[in-house]
Amino acid sequence: MTSRLPVRKTYKLFIGGAFVRSESGRYDRSGDFNIPRGSRKDVRDAVAAACKASGPWAGRTPYNRGQILYRVAEALESRAADIGAERSEVEAAVDVLVHYAGWTDKLQPVLGGINPVAAPFLSFSVPEPTGVVGIVAPDSPPLLGLVAELAPALAAANTAVAVLSDERPLPGLDLAEVMGIADVPGGVVNLLSGRRAELVPVLAGHHALNAIVNATDSLTAEIDKLAAESVTRVRHTTASNSYAEATADPLSRLEALTELKTAWHPVGA
């Protein structure tokens, strides 16, 4: 009796709400899995999908965005045993999603409001999303480090393009499969695996990117240089290793990816 060869699972990139093969057709082998190696064109396609989804996502009510983030947490919890990360890390990621789901309808009263100005004027500020946010996920922890930056970006009504961990992309690709069943509109979240040194410069230099969050200690100078050329907001941070670290100062994470729109009106004229 001949022994059979198991069918190796081949992961795909998550772009525009669909699971797609890398444009380059390249794959890396990791244990019993084939990992897609994204290309420069995949980055451009992901940014285009995020741009298309940006307006409709920002146009949803804060309550609805909170519902969707909570649904992602619910789906991740239900598939915790299938995620390629330690159970404690998955649980922390679930809790971070729930935490930021609760922030969606609080941004307006916390960041916005009436400004004290002299008569006869009325001035008020309204928080608005920055737009398309790029995320460079850390190698450790691969899932929680990604979710800690992704959740506040989505809570602030931004869309996201994330480059996953170089060393451990599986948890991020598993998260993509969770996103596929969690009511996340297509293009709101785009997840790319591949070589960080190849993908990140293309992402950081893309003219349609509005902000980039780098949770690694690599490519810092190159990100700053490329982002400056297109006046893209940059935030360098350290990887969150626990729920406490990911939620220690949530307002700073949210405010970094929010624009304040201020309007002035004459009163009594």
Q: What is the Cα–Cα distance from 228 to 204, expressed in whole angstroms?
A: 9
Q: Is 234 helix (H, G, I), strand (E, B) or coil?
A: strand
Q: What is the Cα–Cα distance from 70 to 80, expressed in whole angstroms?
A: 15
Which residues of the chain, if any, have pLDDT below 50?
A: none
What the block records as the tokens of 190 is 């785009």
Q: pTM (2 decimals)?
A: 0.93
Cα 25 off chain centre by: 25
Q: Give the pLDDT confidence score for residue 10 in this predicted structure.
A: 94
Q: What is the Cα–Cα distance from 156 to 65, expressed in whole angstroms?
A: 9
Pairing mode of beta strands 113-115, 159-163: unpaired
State the Cα torsion 85-140-50-219 to the nearest 10°. Answer: -160
Please list the residues that pair with 213 across neighbouring strands.
135, 235
Q: Give the pLDDT confidence score for residue 269 in this predicted structure.
A: 54
CATH class of 9-266: alpha beta
* pLDDT tens digits, 72-98: 999 999 999 999 999 999 999 999 999
- Nearest Cα residue to 55 out of 128, 6, 124, 137: 128
